A and B are shown apart, each in its own frame.
Chain A
Amino acid sequence: MLLTPLIMSSSLIIMLIVLLLPILSTLSPSPLKAQWALVGVKTAVKLAFLISLLPLFLFLDQGAETVVSTWNWMNTLAFNITISFKFDLYSCVFIPVALYVTWSILEFASWYMHSDPNMNRFFKYLLIFLMAMIILVTANNLFQLFIGWEGVGILSFLLIGWWYGRADANTAALQAVVYNRVGDIGLILAMAWIATKMHSWELNQIFILSKDFDVTLPLIGLILAATGKSAQFGLHPWLPSAMEGPTPVSALLHSSTMVVAGIFLLIRLSPMMENNSTALTICLCLGALTTLFTATCALTQNDIKKIVAFSTSSQLGLMMVTIGLNQPQLAFLHICTHAFFKAMLFLCSGSIIHSLNDEQDIRKMGGMHHLAPFTSSCLTIGSLALTGTPFLAGFFSKDAIIEALNSSYLNAWALILTLIATSFTAIYSLRVIYFVTMHHPRFNAFSPINENNTAVINPIKRLAWGSLIAGLLITSNLLPLNTPIMTMHPLLKLAALLVTVLGLMMALELASLTSKQFKVYPQQTLHHFSNMLGFYPHIIHRFMPKVNLVLGQAIATQTVDQTWLEKTGPKAVCSLNIPMASTVSNIQRGSVKVYLSLFFFTTILALVILLT
């Protein structure tokens, strides 16, 4: 009976150690071997994946969940912070998925980055990033979660800014951190509130105690945190900008791990949230807005990575909607399935970008179906899975979400936005396939197209298997927490498919329209809105920093520090004393008349005072 938790916790600890070993080995002063990236890191991740399957199987077989609490880290006045890991449904399923995806991405990166002199360092960053993510997922108290949370944030700073000679990469890196930091304010708010009211950061205790409090305020903080990390509307521009990083980074950070951290936070703390309708409504509306807005932006982008990035953002919005529906488990399911096909889409686009000599513009691609058949087939599979084609990975989660949405009595506005966004998914996915794989090539004749490398084929293939079967595997093994609605109107049941097909038809129609010109001047307002990302970055990225920088320069530095504080403080002392000092010294110039008259007046004054 005691064997299960023992095996479970020890294998998870072994997994952490296995991942930690390569990081520790970099501390040795001797330079790393060139093979370290593949032999050290990739093998470690692969091994960790295999080890992490053991607790997963134990969980599936016996439903075993365990919490490991060791080492009382900090203790102030009855407020304890311990190192505490939680291995429950979410972490047991997420860790193997994350490790599997990372394993593929690392192998791909060894090909993609092979000319980079600092490849070992790159792998090290990826591994530390993965560690931070695992800490976040397994954390059982908010402080530990915060470590993972900030860890992924700062590693994304390093990885986005990997090509640090480029100003754009540095800007994007800073942008990511600043947007995330706005979200962190929310997390700090929640932590502060919980610490003052509940006197514990342990998740279990928070869940028990939250029944006795009105937890709207900390929940809003948590939603703000998730908005920052998961690029929800308002704090979304960093995610597409982050495509400045190398493609493996985009695949790992901005598709399947880091950006889902915000959603994961809400899933993790969903017991706190389930009875609070204000928070749920905020999530629902925010998610719906995000999913539609970013899907709209994706429609007219020309950079292949940007399209995939926006589709990530749109899917994150869908997950947020699911949280708002109070179906955290479905959101979690979508995280898991989304990880496979989104990572694969990124790897495929990476392979294509590499093949076309670092060309990212889809208008300069085309005909890849003949030249790179494997990559383009997988790109198609990924896009189909993304749109929710039946029985691919995306279907199982997306369809369930839309069903739950349709059968709920919540906000119809949010529902319509989400449905429109779902049909947009089909449009931009088709657009990618249409421009990249179909028709004739539109690129230079001497492109180094070569996908025949095991380091390209194998990872994409593994993820393609994942995109095909992961949805089925996960749904058939996990018991849903909320009872799904079994019977419904056929129209509602088919809504997700219908809007997708509708989107597809529209996209095909639009595609055939591109070669025809019915009007002299095309109507471009909508296009500009979508292409310029709703003008959001242009407004916010000019306005907010300008306010702060003007505050810093004109008010804080010049007006206050250099003028007011200086003039009323030290300079005032100076200017008040100088006239007196100069008067006194001017009097004493050695002229006898002045001395005598001063003496005379002083004597008179003294006499007057004495006599009166």
Chain B
Amino acid sequence: MLKILIPSMFMLLTTWTSPFKQLWSTTLMYSFLMATLSLTWLAMPADTGWFYINNYMAYDPLSSPLLVLTCWLLPLMIIASQNHLAVEPENRQRTYISLLISLQIFLILAFSATEMIMFYVMFEATLIPTLIIITRWGNQMERLNAGTYFLFYTLAGSLPLLVALLMYHNSMGSLSYLSLTNLPLTCSDSYADKLWWMACLLAFLVKMPLYGVHLWLPKAHVEAPIAGSMVLAAVLLKLGGYGMMRIMIVLDPLTKELSYPFIILALWGVIMTGSICLRQTDLKSLIAYSSVSHMGLVAAGILIQTPWGFTGALILMIAHGLTSSALFCLANTNYERTHSRTIVLARGLQVVLPLMATWWFLASLANLALPPLPNLMGEIMIITSLFNWSFYTLILTGLGTLITASYSLYMFLLTQRGPIPHHLILLEPSHTREHLLLALHLLPLLLLIAKPELVWGWAA
């Protein structure tokens, strides 16, 4: 862990000391080296269980895919931000990269923490750089509003968690994941315990986000600069899923009944947000709502608490992280050319940017979960485990897949196919940088087909 963490911290130093001319290339190279090194985490020395680094940090098959995803995303964010920061002064560029790096440090600490409180602190700490990225580098006035929503939804959701965790620590004396499984179960049927259960999950459900508390997500996505959208969709939402999987262990006897309304709400959200996507005029908002829809499925998969549900949720989280991040990058390539997020203003782009259309197509296919992409593996596992619980869930999940396919392909058709409108003249051709960026998103996704057990979680 320190192999990555210490270089990450020193990367801040590199950012501020390297000559401005080589700023982007140095940080990119540096972060890529770290990402490559981080791949070693996927090799599990023991078949299951924890791999200890020290008393405070460890990783297991559940956290290692998310850790690798975090490390993988930093170079991608740096590549993606290069163009739109080119107009900014030197110090601000350095600050921006530093924020991205600090985000990576917090995320690594969050995913590798063995103490619940450590996780909590880092979970909250990620808010700071993200908030600055959104409210400082967003493009419009609404970014301030979006920042407020982002901050207060998460804070309001997670303060009860802090209280709940302290209470638990008070009675048990430990909040370490390593010992959580061995502790006696304390939940009873009292109202206080139900409230405690709710407090434990609320923070993560808001972060996921569950339908109903999702308002902050589209706003934040729409207003954030590209790197912010990428990291938000790819990793930050997954903090919610990860935290839920971790804390589920101690909530055990209560979870079975109490989670039913949330499962149903999540599945209903899949349909509602999917329908919203069909009517979106704003490209980034469409992708954001599709994230809500997919994460609803993840939430349902986790709450159902079967090994298949957990495995499916983890696979879908990783696959969705790469896919939605790729889609945001694609939306950004449009945005950098037309300076508008409105879909109807950038149509028929296949004629102008033919290779980009291929990336669009692949990303849309991944979004609609084409077999054998990992997206499908995740979805079908979640659908199966939900089906095992109740037959009727299939109506919701089935309609969900139908709507997902509709809006994904609708988005593809609208942006890429058809005649090119007359106002789109003088479009810049696509850069190698952009192709590289998308290849680095989609190649891992394609390679995961061959060895999905890397992101299987603990079921392997």
Contact = CB atoms under 8 A, between A and B. Distances in A.
A185 B409 contact: no
A573 to B, nearest CB: 8
B383 A556 contact: no
A196 B388 contact: yes
A185 B402 contact: yes
Interface residues of B, number: 52
Contact of A170 (B380, B417, B456): B417
B386 to A, nearest CB: 8
B273 A192 contact: no
A174 B384 contact: no
6 contacts: A147-B372, A165-B417, A174-B409, A552-B277, A552-B278, A565-B212
Interface in B202-235: 212-213, 215
Interface string A163-198: 011010010011001100110110011011101100
A165 B419 contact: yes
Given A74-B453, A177-B409, A548-B403, A189 B278 contact: no
Contacts of B409: 157, 174, 177
Contacts of B149: 570
Interface string A560-602: 1100011001100100000000000000000000000000000
B365 interface: yes
A553 interface: yes
Interface of chain B, main secondary structure: helix
Contacts of A549: 275, 278-279
Interface of A: 73-77, 143, 146-147, 149-151, 154, 157, 161, 164-165, 167, 170, 173-174, 177-178, 181-182, 184-185, 188-189, 191-193, 195-196, 217, 548-549, 551-553, 555-557, 560-561, 565-566, 569-570, 573
Nearest to A224: B398
A556 B383 CA distance: 23
B132 interface: no
Given A147-B372, A178-B402, A75 B453 contact: yes
Contact of B383 (A143, A178, A192, A570): A192
A74 B380 contact: no
A552 B388 contact: no
A290 B308 CA distance: 39
A570 B405 contact: no
Interface in B391-421: 391, 394, 397-399, 401-403, 405-406, 409-410, 413, 416-419
Query: Nearest 4 CB-CB pairs, A to B?
Result: A552-B275, A185-B398, A192-B387, A164-B417
A570 B388 contact: no
B311 interface: yes
Nearest to A171: B413
B371 A196 contact: no
Given A75-B453, A182-B402, A549-B278, A188 B383 contact: yes
Interface of B: 149, 152-153, 212-213, 215, 272-273, 275-279, 307-308, 311, 348, 350, 365, 370-372, 376-377, 380-381, 383-384, 387-388, 391, 394, 397-399, 401-403, 405-406, 409-410, 413, 416-419, 452-453, 456, 459-460
Nearest to B149: A570
B435 to A, nearest CB: 11
A573 B151 CA distance: 14
A191 B399 CA distance: 16
Given A174-B409, A192-B384, A570-B153, 12 more contacts: A75-B460, A77-B307, A77-B308, A151-B371, A164-B350, A165-B348, A165-B418, A185-B394, A192-B380, A553-B279, A570-B149, A573-B152
A189 B401 CA distance: 12
Given A154-B370, A174-B409, A548-B278, A569 B380 contact: no
Nearest to B413: A170
A143 to B, nearest CB: 7
A74 B452 contact: yes
A573 B155 CA distance: 14
A164 B347 CA distance: 12
A181 B418 contact: no
Contact of B387 (A150, A151, A157, A193): A193
A570 B152 contact: yes
A191 B384 contact: yes
Contact of B401 (A149, A173, A184): A184
A167 B418 contact: yes
Given A150-B370, A191-B384, A561 B215 contact: yes
A561 B460 CA distance: 40
A552 B276 contact: yes
Contacts of B213: 569
B401 A76 contact: no
Nearest to B387: A192
B344 to A, nearest CB: 14
Which of B153, B212, B365, B410: most chain A CB closer than 10 A? Answer: B212
A178 B405 contact: yes
Given A188-B398, A548-B278, A154 B215 contact: no
Contact of A192 (B278, B377, B394): B394
Contacts of B307: 76-77
A285 to B, nearest CB: 23
B380 A188 contact: yes
A551 B387 contact: no
A570 B410 CA distance: 32
Nearest to B307: A77
B276 to A, nearest CB: 5
B104 to A, nearest CB: 30
Contacts of A165: 348, 417-419
Contact of A77 (B380, B401, B459): B459
A281 B410 CA distance: 37
B198 to A, nearest CB: 17
Contacts of A177: 405, 409
B384 A551 contact: no
